[in-house]
Amino acid sequence: MSMELHMAIVKIYHAQKNRTRPGMIEIGLSPGQPKVLVYVSQHNHCMQKDVAEALNIEPATVSQILKNMEQSGLVSRSNHLERKRAESISITEKGMDYYEKWVLLCSKLDKEALNGFSKDEADRLLEYLCRLYVNMTGKPME
């Protein structure tokens, strides 16, 4: 098969997006929200700048995503204890419910995507993807 790496990545990205989008909508999440929800669920009381940096998203984009998530009741903001002007982002109970539904959906789709792969092959694939990420960003994938 003669396909360049960048095209394979683009095709896989779009296939994955097309498979997750219906479930994302069913859960009640908008584009951009799932990755922010995952990050905030794992880094409760984080700062907006940390979300932007960890996810490689522009701060203004994160600000808009968080604003929409706050309006939907998925996250809350409160003044950071050490910095008076900074806000701490926390996941709400509703946000945790949506997060759990998202994780379940992703687990199901991961299982389908890795159908026919041995455990060793799946582990190596993930290792290779992490190495690609480091090569392209200079940062480890979290």
Could you read off the pLDDT of 95-124 as tens digits, one per residue?
Answer: 999 999 999 999 999 999 999 999 999 999
Sequence ranges of the domains in the chain: 5-116
In angstroms, the Cα distances linking 123 to 36, 68, 117, 126, 136 are 25, 35, 9, 5, 20
Q: Grade residue 139 by pLDDT with cuts at 50, 70 and 90.
A: confident
pLDDT, position 3: 77
Average pLDDT in the 5-28 region?
Answer: 94
DSSP assignment, residue 81? Answer: S
pLDDT at 87: 79
Q: The whole model's pTM is what? A: 0.85
Residue 84: what pLDDT?
A: 54
Query: Which amino acid is residue 68, in one-letter code?
Result: N
**Of 9-18, 40-49, 73-82, which gets the smallest average pLDDT?**
73-82
Taken as a whole, the chain contains a residue count of: 142
Mean per-residue pLDDT over the chain, rounded: 92
Residue 142, pLDDT score: 74
Residue 112 main-chain phi, psi, to 5 deg = -65, -45
pLDDT of residue 92: 96
The pLDDT score that the predictor gives to residue 65 is 96
pLDDT at 1: 56
d(CA 115, CA 136) in angstroms, rounded, equals 28
Residue tagged 């479930």 (tokens)? 23
The CATH number of domain 5-116, selected from 3.40.50.300, 3.40.50.720, 3.40.718.10, 1.10.10.10: 1.10.10.10
